């Protein structure tokens, strides 16, 4: 079996390669693709050198699975070309997520939408993945009426440019700014670009993608995305209003039983999720679990996850593992 990583030299691409190795995904050939300026470079995988190839060369290699993380423009230009020759494309960009005929997948939540015939699969936004993993079992049992989410997103979600800006500001070095303001010792209430309605594209993704993954367009969702000067992962304050009443014990039981979730909720001992301790882990950590007494059937959650792993690379690799285990490939 041949697996390609498109955008192999980027932050998420490198993490995809690492996760493939860690999870011991079986392949005979690994194809590392990037832009033409990176072609010919060598990358070490499993102590072996792999040359970086161009997109044309990767296409000619006819991979069985291609993990794309090279931006929306590259995905729009190349994903269907790979899919047309029988390759399963798992795309981490925003290019295909909201197409009705393209599955948007968090494997623990909705792997049932993956079919043998559909060769293009979308990986959701990092903030969406961690939130829907917690929302899914609760929606199934109590039905969600409304969600209010505020995110506290790591600079790693902006790729190397965002990380480099924070690194340089901490060290008082000159750097080409990616954000419109300093990020060190600051928080920036903007993720993506602003729409005419005053919301950002990142906020709109949380609305649209959550509804699609949970299969319920009636859920009312509002979001505020904030960039914060941390590296380890994204954090979310999530306020949920259900149609049905619940007890906190039921919430904890359902979240504990959900694959991929780890409960960290002992506030008297100052135990709750934090990005510092979520970094390089695949779990979605949930804590500060408490009722919201200001509305009927209200709940507050604090959700944290490494955005480069479960929020991107690990989720994509899990989709690939589903394809392999169900004998779609291999």
The values of phi and psi at residue 133, to 5°, are -60, -35
Given 112, 140, 141, 234, which residue is catalytic?
Answer: 234
How many CA atoms lie within 13 Å of 142's alpha carbon, on the beta-carbon side? 25
Given 112, 126, 141, 327, which residue is catalytic?
Answer: 126
First to last CA, the chain: 6
Taking the CA atoms of residue 245, residue 251, residue 257 and residue 263 in that order, the dihedral angle to the nearest 10 degrees is 170
Tokens matching residue 54: 């161009």
Whether 87 is catalytic: no
C-beta atoms surrounding 238 within 10 Å: 21
> Would you say the C-alpha torsion 258, 308, 302, 191 has a positive or negative sign?
negative
CA distance 140 to 144: 8
Q: Is 159 exposed, middle or buried (0-12, 13-18, 19+ CB in 10 A)?
A: middle
Helix (H, G, I), strand (E, B) or coil at 272: coil
Total number of residues shown for the chain:
330
CA distance 200 to 127: 14
Strand 298-305 versus strand 284-292 pairing type: antiparallel
Q: Is 208 exposed, middle or buried (0-12, 13-18, 19+ CB in 10 A)?
A: middle
CA distance 97 to 71: 13
Helix (H, G, I), strand (E, B) or coil at 251: helix
CA distance 49 to 44: 5
Residues labelled as active-site residues: 126, 234
């Amino acid at each position: 079996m041949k697996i390609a990583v498109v955008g192999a030299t980027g932050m998420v691409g490198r993490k995809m390669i690492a996760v493939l190795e860690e999870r011991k995904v079986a392949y005979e050939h690994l194809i590392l693709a990037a832009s033409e300026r990176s072609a010919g470079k060598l990358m070490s995988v499993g102590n072996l050198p792999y040359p970086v190839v161009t997109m044309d060369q990767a296409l000619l290699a006819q991979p069985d699975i291609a993990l794309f993380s090279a931006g929306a423009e590259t995905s729009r230009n190349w994903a269907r070309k790979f899919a047309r020759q029988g390759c399963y494309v798992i795309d981490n960009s925003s290019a295909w997520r909201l197409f009705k005929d393209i599955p948007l997948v968090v494997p623990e939540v909705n792997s049932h939408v993956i079919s043998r015939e559909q060769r293009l699969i979308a990986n959701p936004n990092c903030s969406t993945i961690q939130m829907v993993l917690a929302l899914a079992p609760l929606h199934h049992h109590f039905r969600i009426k409304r969600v209010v989410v505020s995110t506290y997103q790591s600079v790693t979600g902006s790729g190397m440019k965002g990380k480099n800006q924070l690194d340089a500001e901490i060290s008082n070095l000159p750097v080409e700014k990616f954000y419109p303001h300093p990020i060190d010792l600051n928080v920036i209430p903007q993720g993506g670009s602003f729409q005419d309605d005053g919301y950002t594209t990142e906020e709109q993704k949380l609305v649209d993608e959550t509804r699609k993954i949970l299969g319920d367009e009636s859920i009312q969702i509002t979001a505020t995305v904030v960039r914060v000067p941390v590296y380890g992962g994204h954090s979310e304050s999530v306020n949920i209003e259900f149609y049905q009443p619940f007890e906190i014990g039921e919430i904890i039981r359902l979240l504990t039983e959900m694959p991929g979730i780890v409960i960290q909720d002992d506030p008297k001992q100052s135990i709750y999720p934090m990005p510092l301790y979520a970094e390089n882990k695949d779990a979605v950590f949930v804590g500060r679990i408490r009722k919201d007494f200001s509305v009927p059937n209200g709940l507050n959650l604090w959700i944290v996850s490494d955005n480069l792993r479960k929020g991107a690379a690990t989720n994509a690799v899990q989709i690939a593992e589903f394809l392999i285990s169900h004998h779609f490939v291999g």
